[in-house]
Amino acid sequence: MDHKSSVLVISLIAFLAGCGATGISRCDFPKQFVFGTASSAYQYEGGAKQGGRKPSIWDKFSHTFGKILDGSNGDVAEDQYNRYQEDILLMKELGIDAYRFSISWCRIFPDGNTTQVNAEGVNHYNGFINALLANNIEPYVTLYHWDLPQALEDSIGGWLSSEIVNRFAAYADACFNAFGDRIKYWITFNEPQSFATSGYDLGIHAPGRCSILLCSKGNSATEPYTVAHNVLLSHAAAVRIYRTKYKARQGGTIGITLNSFWYEPLSNSTNNIAAAQRALDFELGWFLDPIVYGDYPAVMRDYVGHRLPMFTEEQRSSLLLSIDFLGLNHYTTNFASALPPPLIKNWTDYFQDSRVLRTASRGGVSIGRRAASIWLYDVPWGFRKLVSYVTHRYNQLPIIITENGMDQSSFLSRSSALHDSHRIDFHSNYLSNLSAAIRDGADVRGYFVWSMLDNWEWSAGFTSRFGLYYVDYRDNLKRCPKASAAWFTNFLNQTCAYR
């Protein structure tokens, strides 16, 4: 079957699959609402030794035996470093308004120092940004999506050192200066909760530090909190630089992307209702409370005690209202129930501190249909609840959904992977609930699918496929549209009264 015929078949499949979905329309969203797809540098770019780039902590981690499920790494990934022109044409064909990507710190300051910007790295991103704009695709730029220069990990201890605040500020300043004349949407960090816990509590992500599992170094009881504190101070420093030096003449906005499940009480007991709230406080409130209210959630102060760092008055002031918008990554929902304190007082970690049991089933019944990842269940009603919760708890913050999606197993045949009706149902149902949250009063301004392409999924390697486009790793990374890509294109091209 030739390419044109295959596209027609997939479009028909998308139409038929969509008939069983909720009937959501682009017209159910505000006129200025932005639809896009999302990516990150280490998961997409490849070009590990091109353009003056030097290793990040993920290069070292992924090349360490036993750390990645399939033994793979991001040396090549989707090769977007070399194929971005091709991928931008796919974006244009898809019909998206915007593309969210991250800049690799290792391409701007390869050695981690702040004395000389790497011109090759700047030139690469200039070319990428200009190509997006030439095709009427708005770039949304994340400064940090987990790929810290290994040189900074080796020299100062990475995110465990307070010096990282100055290094990140200098890196952000260099990016604002180089690209800010064209970038109107900046995101300082992607999911700090994820890399603070997975990298410094569980040790399953770079740099692989922990004390409760089989790590060679680390302290799970203290390091996640130290990392989070330094991230928040780094965020505040970058925002201060942008607002004082660049915003007036560049006219952009700046925010942070945080991740959160929705947590539904396992039962209506007082303890389980409190546990669900505690789970949200430990996951989302850990970072958003300091930005909106000036300190960590009171329950974290109570349960973590002296291990939770304190803010000075100056730091509180710099953090307060340090976002123009909240980027929110959401995928799924869990039930939450209360757990007792750790049995051994001094042998604890972030997850034990929260005293919450998170589960995807109740009474033997799953909370929703499972995707390929063991943690990801299709629970669209949780999306509406989370967005409404953020709206009411955090003073009507403007929200951009910076990631949402579901994955398939890499063990499916190419033909089976292309016929991804579950993904169509997932996005249709989640978008329906997002539209409902907006009607409820949430100020949501955009929705970014994770992800346009199948990509390298951190410790899962290439075993998980999140893309609207199938990437054939056995055929020169050929990109093939799935049924969901055709569905999304049809969705984006709907004619509305305001268009």
| C-alpha closest to that of 447 among 49, 114, 29 | 29
Q: CA distances (Å), 455 to each of 71, 332, 364, 476, 479, in order?
A: 15, 20, 33, 14, 11
Q: Is 282 in a helix, a strand, or coil? A: helix
pLDDT at residue 314, rounded to an integer: 98
| Average pLDDT of the chain, as a whole number | 95
| C-alpha closest to that of 141 among 87, 104, 89 | 104
Each residue's pLDDT tens digit, 406-443: 999 999 999 999 999 999 999 999 999 999 999 999 99
Give dist(CA 3, CA 127) in Å, integer: 29
Tell me how crowded residue 93 is: count the other CB atoms within 10 A of its CB: 12
Instruction: Using pLDDT thresholds of 50, 70 and 90, give the confidence band for residue 497.
Output: confident
Residue holding tokens 């302290």?
A: 219
| C-alpha closest to that of 384 among 330, 421, 448 | 330
Q: Is 211 in a helix, a strand, or coil? A: coil
pLDDT at residue 22, rounded to an integer: 60
Average pLDDT (50-58) is 98
The answer to whether the CB of 492 falls within 8 A of the CB of 26 is yes
**Bridge partners of residue 448, in order along the sequence:** 36
Domain spans in the chain, listed from the N-terminal domain onward? 28-493
Cα four-point dihedral sign 34, 389, 398, 295: negative
Instruction: Using pLDDT thresholds of 50, 70 and 90, give the confidence band for residue 335.
Output: very high
Each residue's pLDDT tens digit, 159-181: 999 999 999 999 999 999 999 99
Instruction: Using pLDDT thresholds of 50, 70 and 90, give the confidence band for residue 16.
Output: very low
pLDDT at residue 305, rounded to an integer: 96
pLDDT at residue 345, rounded to an integer: 73
Each residue's pLDDT tens digit, 97-146: 999 999 999 999 999 988 899 999 999 999 999 999 999 999 999 999 99
- Class (C level, CATH) for 28-493: alpha beta
Catalytic residue among 191, 223, 264, 283: 191
Each residue's pLDDT tens digit, 339-382: 998 877 778 999 999 999 999 999 999 999 999 999 999 999 99
Q: Is the pLDDT assigned to residue 297 strictly greater than 50?
A: yes
Give dist(CA 264, CA 243) in Å, integer: 38
Catalytic annotation present for 403: yes
pTM exceeding the 0.85 threshold for the entire prediction: yes
Give dist(CA 320, CA 254) in Å, integer: 14
Each residue's pLDDT tens digit, 463-475: 999 999 999 999 9
The residue type found at 152 is L
Q: Is the pLDDT assigned to residue 19 strictly greater than 90?
A: no
Catalytic annotation present for 191: yes
Q: Are strands 469-472 and 478-481 parallel, antiparallel or unpaired?
A: antiparallel
Q: Which residues of 413-445 are buried (b: 16+ CB within 10 A; e: fewer)?
A: eeeebbbbbbbbbbbbbbbbbbbbbbeeebebb
Tokens (6 digits) for 452: 């346009």
Q: CA distances (Å), 222 to each of 208, 306, 346, in order?
A: 15, 10, 11
Tokens (6 digits) for 374: 């063991």
pLDDT at residue 270, rounded to an integer: 98
Residues with Cβ < 8 Å from 17, sequence gap 6 or more? 421, 424, 425, 483, 487
Instruction: Using pLDDT thresholds of 50, 70 and 90, give the confidence band for residue 212.
Output: confident
pLDDT at residue 499, rounded to an integer: 63
Residue holding tokens 């190509």?
A: 131
Q: Is the pLDDT assigned to residue 446 strictly greater than 60?
A: yes
Average pLDDT (292-320) is 98
Q: Is the pLDDT assigned to residue 4 strictly greater than 60?
A: no
Catalytic residue among 45, 138, 283, 403: 403
Question: Can you count the helices (H) and strands (E) in the chain?
Answer: 20, 19
First and final C-alpha spacing in the chain: 36
